[in-house]
Amino acid sequence: MFFAAIFLVSVPVFIQAPLVRFYPWVSLLLTPVLFWLSYRWQQGDRFAHWGDLLEGFAWTWLAGSIYWGWFRWEPILHLPMEAIGLPFALWSIWRGRSLLGNFFFVGSLFGTVVTDVYFYLTRLMPYWRSLMRVDQELASSILHVALGQIYTPWGLTCAISLALLLLAVSVFALQGRKPHWWAFSGAVVSTILVDGLFWLVAAFA
């Protein structure tokens, strides 16, 4: 479940991101399909765990479809929209229901919170807004200016500190020795991988 969670966090980067940019309604309409598939799988024994995990992924897919499809130019709305499934997830965890999927969702959201905290600490939010509004021809110049913020002592200190926080939380969760904690751990640590990938894209833009 640890590696499955890492894979599912990476899926939006490679599949949902380009889809939601050009066809946001298609991405949004795939959400009920994911929830339906999750429900069907959880009814049997063979794929019950995968259906459970897929339920949490469906919430992240829904949030990503809404935010990146129609509100991506306003970073202040990012966390509220990414947390759209949080009340349901916490209620389900309290009831002991669909623990794999809901712990995955909470872990993924925690990683998102840490990433956004980094953007606020290093004052990268204005660049976020600019990138979402300009043509691709101008994006590379904005990315290079933003990288200048990252390569400062403060930017590097924040990056290292928050990466260590994510790693520590992930390792601590693995000590739980239960599948839902592994899903949480994988979702958290994958934030480092995804953020690192975005940094590479920006560096070579």
CB-count exposure of residue 139 (10 Å: 0-12, 13-18, 19+): middle
Q: Specify the pLDDT at position 187.
A: 93
CB 82 within 8 A of CB 109: yes
What is the b/e burial string over 79-89, where b = at least 16 CB atoms within 10 angstroms of the residue's CB?
bebbbbbbeeb
What is the tens place of the pLDDT at every residue in 23-49?
A: 999 999 999 999 999 999 998 778 888
Q: Specify the pLDDT at position 100.
A: 92
Q: Specify the pLDDT at position 3.
A: 66
pLDDT per residue as tens, the chain (205 positions): 676 777 777 777 778 888 898 899 999 999 999 999 999 999 877 888 899 999 999 999 999 999 999 999 899 999 999 999 999 999 999 999 889 999 999 999 999 999 999 999 999 998 888 888 877 777 778 888 888 889 999 999 999 999 999 999 999 998 877 899 999 999 999 998 888 888 887 777 6
Q: Specify the pLDDT at position 11.
A: 72
pTM value is 0.92
Of 29, 34, 119, 39, give the one whose Cα is nearest residue 74: 119
